[in-house]
Amino acid sequence: MNTAAPGLVAPPRVPGDLAMWFFILAELAVFGIFFAVYGVARQRDAALFAAGQAQLLLWPALINTLLLIAGSATVAAAVRAFAANLVAAGRRYLLATLLLGGGFVLLKGWEFAGKFAAGITLSSSDFWMFYLSLTFFHFLHVILGLVIVAAVYLNARRGAYDAANHDGVETAAAYWHMVDLVWVVLFALVYVAH
Amino acid sequence: MTSSAMATARSASVSAAANDPLTNVQLKYRSQAVAKPYFVAAIGLFVGQIVFGLIMGLQYVIGDFLFPAIPFNVARMVHTNLLIVWLLFGFMGAGYFLIPEESERELHSPKLALITFWVFLVAGALTIVGYLAVPYATLAKITGNDLLPTMGREFLEQPTITKIGIVLVALSFLFNLSMTVLKGRKTSISMVMMLGLWGLAIFFLFSFYNPDNLVLDKYFWWWVVHLWVEGVWELIMGAMLAFVLVKVTGIDREIIEKWLYVIIAMTLISGIIGTGHHYFWIGAPAYWQVWGSVFSALEPIPFFMMTLFAFNVVNKRRREHPNKAAVLWALGTGVMAFLGAGVWGFLHTLAPVNYLTHGTQITASHGHMAFYGAYAMVVMTMISYAMPLMRGREANSNAAQVVEMWSFWLMTVAMVFITLFLTAAGILQVWMQRMGDTPLSFMATQDKIAFFYWLRELSGVVFFIGLLLYIVSFFVRGNERASA
């Protein structure tokens, strides 16, 4: 934190790469519009959506929420570790994020497999269309997030980051937080809200 | 001596040898000069496009004008096909100019580029003559369409043999440029340009598949048309705009490249799944109404970013380039592309709206401003920047630039009015023909909105005057050299 004398304010700085923030903004816009359309469709056919939601299992989604939030915690810890020049700890936190995210992918994959086995498709009903669209679209983002964190992890293993230079870690963390944030909204909207 | 004075002295001293690429000191690489015939052909075909636009505009209100010599459907085909062909000439010219400079080496084979030019021009001209000389069905028969049927789809009406010609021309063009890039410096601008051009060629291949199933047929058709104009062409446009802006503003490449990457990411995120906004009523599954609406609603974003990008880098420019006209075209492209492609596209992209507006004059209004604002204008930006250099001067004389800027404003304002009149016609058309308790027939509606078609035709005439003035600007000499 900059605690310089009054009048010597540090220039505003965005953590990580500015381009990533544009990207995050765009991603949030897509999800935001999708959520809004979901809300409208749900209001127009509340019974159908309630019936569909009743068929969703809450506990895997809850575990997935915890996995992603834990992943956000570890990736934030990684940024702090690199900032403090604790590069070995930073690497371990990145690895933990990968494992937590991997857990999400497995559990979610299992959930999708169950739905597909039950014959559910995008054309089954409006509810299932939204359920599959939203969760699968988010699922792809988790995978992209994992790819980004993995790339940063590999860089970190080569010793690319330290206290002076860890923009890459911040960039990856920002993206991961976005993926997490969207899931929390999605979880509340699709799984919990009745 | 200041740099601008040097430039003035230099351009004065070389004016005699202006048109000789061998002694042209303005070109970094001599082979860039092969772009010139491409640009000249592009402008010539542009004139043809507008002439047929005016003919067709008149046929909207005087139905039998020039009938049976030029029926409406033929005029329309010539109008749209000429547009695509002149833009392709423009993109190719831009590629031949931009890639050597970015790659910091001569073009792999200037001779091949010239051969390709003549093949493309002759094939294009023969196709247009074919459209005008014989009925379309006869043309299909003469050119052996039954061997590999590809004809009859909007914008892709070219005889199969022409399509094969286009593929060969595109392959030679891509080979030439790719070899240049591979052996030279690789920049983000050249990479994005090449990605766009390769995408253009690859997606064109879908035009050879003509399935009997009409739903499939529409899918493949849109994979050419949509993935061109709302996908890979945007990459070409972004690269061309970035190239000119680097040159005229002197802004660091690093900044421009970052913008370019973000614009491209947004283009692809919104544009690829955004194709779904064409699937609403073609027999595709219903979920496309949501997917298509949501993703295409974001398609204005990359265009808006191009506007921000253009104004941002021009405001922060590090040099005063004497070619003011090119800067004006670049800024104009940013604004008009956003309005035409972004705003007018968004107007009717949501499924519930499109349910009413599909295939009305609303679509035509969007088509006009989007094609002009995004693609016609970016090609003219490139021509405006490159043509003086190819003619041996850093910029045209002030007098010539004044004429060029007049043509910019005439064409651009006329296009704004064409768009507004067509939008008005479209709103009335939707209202009278598709809403209310006693909807009118298509033709009865057309009669009622004829007033707006007259106004559109008038704006078209102004546009044509602007275009003629644009051509005149190439011949205005002026003693006074433009300076920064």
What ipTM goes with this model?
0.82
Q: Tens of pLDDT along B87-132?
A: 999 999 999 999 999 999 999 999 999 999 999 999 999 999 999 9
Interchain CB distance below 8 Å, B301 and A30: no
Q: Is B293's Cβ below 8 Å from some Cβ in A?
A: yes
The pLDDT-based confidence of B481 (bands split at 50, 70, 90) is low
Q: Is B269's Cβ below 8 Å from some Cβ in A?
A: yes
Q: Tens of pLDDT along B211-250?
A: 999 999 999 999 999 999 999 999 999 999 999 999 999 9
Interchain CB distance below 8 Å, A37 and B294: yes
Average confidence (pLDDT) over B449-478: 97
CB nearest to B297's CB, from A33, A41, A133: A33
How much is the pLDDT for A8? 61
How much is the pLDDT for B22? 61
B457 and B343, same domain (yes or no): yes
Q: Is B308's Cβ below 8 Å from some Cβ in A?
A: no
How much is the pLDDT for B15? 45
Q: Is A129's Cβ below 8 Å from some Cβ in B?
A: yes
The torsion defined by the Cα of B83, B86, B91 and B95, in degrees rounded to 10, comes to 170
User: Quick check: is B69 in a domain?
Assistant: yes
| Contact (CB, 8 A) for B210 and B217 | yes
How much is the pLDDT for A62? 97
Instruction: Please report the residues numbered 37 through 96 in chain A whose beta carbons come closer than 8 angstroms to any beta carbon of chain B.
Output: 37, 41
Q: Tens of pLDDT along A30-40?
A: 899 999 999 99
Q: Which of A20, A22, A135 to mutate to test the interface with B (most CBs of B within 10 A)?
A: A22
3-class secondary-structure state, position A2? coil
User: Quick check: is B125 in a domain?
Assistant: yes
User: Quick check: is B351 in a domain?
Assistant: yes
The domain of B465 spans: 254-484
**In CATH, what number is assigned to the domain containing residue B79?**
1.20.120
User: Quick check: is B276 in a domain?
Assistant: yes
Residue A125 DSSP one-character state = -
How much is the pLDDT for B370? 98
What domain count does chain B have?
Answer: 2
Residue B368 DSSP one-character state = H
Q: What are the distances in angstroms from CA B398 to CA A97, B7, B394, B477, B478?
A: 61, 14, 12, 9, 7
Q: Is A96 exposed, middle or buried (0-12, 13-18, 19+ CB in 10 A)?
A: middle
How much is the pLDDT for B320? 95
How much is the pLDDT for B72? 96
Interchain CB distance below 8 Å, B286 and A129: yes
Interchain CB distance below 8 Å, A26 and B293: no
Structure-block tokens of residue A176: 């991961």
CB nearest to A23's CB, from B262, B270, B293: B262
Q: Given a cut of 70, is residue B280 above it in pLDDT?
A: yes
Cα distance from B229 to chain A (closest Cα, Å)? 21
| Contact (CB, 8 A) for B89 and B45 | yes
- Within 8 A of B290 by CB-CB distance, chain A residues are 37, 41, 129-130, 133
Geometric angle at alpha carbon A69, from A63 and A72, rounded to 5° = 145
Count A/B contacts: CB-CB distance under 8 Å: 45
How much is the pLDDT for A22? 84
Domain boundaries, chain A: 18-192
How much is the pLDDT for A7? 54
Q: Which residue has the higher pLDDT, A194 or B126?
A: B126
The pLDDT-based confidence of B24 (bands split at 50, 70, 90) is confident
- Residue of chain B with shortest Cα separation from A36: B294
Q: Is B297's Cβ below 8 Å from some Cβ in A?
A: yes
Distance CA B472, CA B476 (A): 7
Q: What are the distances in angstroms from CA B480 to CA A133, B16, B216, B327?
A: 63, 16, 60, 20
- Within 8 A of B297 by CB-CB distance, chain A residues are 33
At B105, give phi and psi (nearest 5°): -160, 165
- Of B186, B214, B236, the position where a domain reaches its end is B186
- Within 8 A of B285 by CB-CB distance, chain A residues are 122-123
Average confidence (pLDDT) over A144-169: 95
CB nearest to B298's CB, from A26, A37, A133: A26
| Contact (CB, 8 A) for B31 and B107 | yes
Q: Given a cut of 90, is residue A80 above it in pLDDT?
A: yes
Interchain CB distance below 8 Å, B286 and A123: yes
The pLDDT-based confidence of B16 (bands split at 50, 70, 90) is very low
Q: Is the peptide bond before B149 cis (omega within 30 degrees of 0)?
A: no
Nearest CA to A19 among B154, B266, B110, B245?
Answer: B266
- Within 8 A of A23 by CB-CB distance, chain B residues are 262, 265-266
The pLDDT-based confidence of A89 (bands split at 50, 70, 90) is very high
- List helix spans (H) across chain A: 18-44, 46-54, 58-83, 87-117, 126-157, 167-186
Distance CA B424, CA B41 (A): 34
Average confidence (pLDDT) over B397-421: 98
The pLDDT-based confidence of B482 (bands split at 50, 70, 90) is low
Q: Is B449's Cβ below 8 Å from some Cβ in A?
A: no
A7-11, A160-164, B16-20 — most confident range? A160-164
> What is the second-level CATH architecture of the domain A18-192?
Up-down Bundle (1.20)
Q: Which residue has the higher pLDDT, A21 or B180?
A: B180
Using left for φ > 0, alpha for ψ between -120 and 50, and beta otherwise, residue A11 falls in beta
The pLDDT-based confidence of B14 (bands split at 50, 70, 90) is very low
Average confidence (pLDDT) over B471-475: 97
Average confidence (pLDDT) over A44-52: 95
Q: Is A122's Cβ below 8 Å from some Cβ in B?
A: yes
- Within 8 A of B270 by CB-CB distance, chain A residues are 26, 30
B289 and B429, same domain (yes or no): yes
User: Quick check: is B225 in a domain?
Assistant: no
What is the rounded end-to-end Cα distance, in angstroms, of chain A?
Answer: 43
User: Quick check: is B14 in a domain?
Assistant: no
Q: What is the largest CA-CA distance in chain B?
A: 77
DSSP state string for B399-460: HHHHHHHHHHHHHHHHHHHHHHHHHHHHHHHHHHHHSSSSPPPHHHHHHHTHHHHHHHHHHH
Structure-block tokens of residue B256: 């421009």
- Of B136, B158, B186, the position where a domain reaches its end is B186
HSE-CB at B166 with a 13 A cutoff on CA atoms is 26
- Residue of chain B with shortest Cα separation from A122: B287
How much is the pLDDT for A16? 85
Q: Is A14's Cβ below 8 Å from some Cβ in B?
A: no
The pLDDT-based confidence of B2 (bands split at 50, 70, 90) is very low
Helix pair B233-249, B72-103: axis angle to 10 deg: 50
Interchain CB distance below 8 Å, B298 and A37: no
Of the listed ranges A12-16, B68-72, B311-315, the one predicted with least confidence: A12-16
Q: Given a cut of 90, is residue B57 above it in pLDDT?
A: yes
Of the listed ranges A17-31, A174-188, B278-292, B406-420, the one predicted with least confidence: A17-31
Q: Given a cut of 80, is residue B274 above it in pLDDT?
A: yes
User: Quick check: is B464 in a domain?
Assistant: yes
User: Quick check: is B374 in a domain?
Assistant: yes
How much is the pLDDT for B480? 59
Distance CA B288, CA B278 (A): 9
Only one residue has tokens 């070409």, namely B236
Average confidence (pLDDT) over A137-162: 96
The pLDDT-based confidence of A20 (bands split at 50, 70, 90) is confident
**In CATH, what number is assigned to the domain containing residue B425?**
1.20.210.10
- Of B139, B164, B186, the position where a domain reaches its end is B186
How much is the pLDDT for B483? 57
Interchain CB distance below 8 Å, A122 and B285: yes
Interchain CB distance below 8 Å, A33 and B265: no
How much is the pLDDT for A6? 52
Nearest CA to A180 among A33, A37, A56, A73?
Answer: A73
CB nearest to B261's CB, from A19, A30, A41: A19
